[in-house]
Amino acid sequence: MRKLPTITEQIQSVKILSKITKRHTWYGGFLFFANLIIALFIIFGKSFSGGGDVNQQGVALIDASSGTGTGFLIKGQEGLMLTAAHVVKSDPAVAVIFRDGTFIEANVLFTDASMDVALLKLNDLINVDAALPIGDSEIISETDEVYVIGYPGGNYSITKGIISEKKSEYLKTDAASNPGNSGGPLVSKNDNMVVGMVVGTGIISGTRAEGQHYAVPINRINDLCVAKGYNLK
């Protein structure tokens, strides 16, 4: 039997639902009710398994016109956030909902469909301590332990696994990810730094394996961002 929400959680849910209600006229009735369900999942359906000292507050639900995914704030880069390109698609802006209920809109700075990467800029300031530090995907090795953090199905979760394969184009892990995890960070257990961004269980470089999930190496993402005028490190 699910435990009843605390007063704090009830107040938090009211705040989120109130903010989503204001967006009702922007997106129409269908998306309003979809957002309502997502907000209820966030408040009443959180899941958590491990995570150690991983900074979890900088990981947020991304609410786009075509669906939802995950994004994460980048430490040292005021208001910059990474997510997957297929999450935001052609939207010029998306809604970002943090685990504590903070609701901020973000502009899409650029997307790269070939790498499935999008860079966002929050329209308001947020606690910089929530941002995640960017690591070095070159030093990650096969069998190293990692965490996948995100919002599959609107539920906040952390799953643990290992790097099962490392290529210059991708990192493969057995840490579980599901629809909604796309755009979330792949974090090294060794130093709690981001070494990749989850792009799901789909096909990368023509390969597919049951129970295996993929991430774009963070160094490759940073090279792309540098070419666009944004250095994440």
Is 116 considered catalytic here?
Answer: yes
Q: Which of 110, 113, 64 is nearest to 88 (CA)?
A: 64
Choice among 86, 91, 157, 177 that is catalytic: 86
d(CA 139, CA 232): 17
Phi, psi of 153 (to 5 degrees): 65, 20
Cα angle: 130, vertex 161, 87; to 5 degrees: 55
Q: Is 206 exposed, middle or buried, given 0-12, 13-18 or 19+ CB atoms closer than 10 A?
A: exposed
Is 53 considered catalytic here?
Answer: no
Is 24 considered catalytic here?
Answer: no
Choice among 63, 91, 116, 188 that is catalytic: 116
Report helix, strand or coil for 36. helix
Q: 171-173 and 213-217 as β-strands: parallel, antiparallel, unpaired? A: antiparallel
Q: Is 205 exposed, middle or buried, given 0-12, 13-18 or 19+ CB atoms closer than 10 A?
A: exposed
Choice among 137, 157, 177, 182 that is catalytic: 182
As annotated, the active-site residues are 86, 116, 182
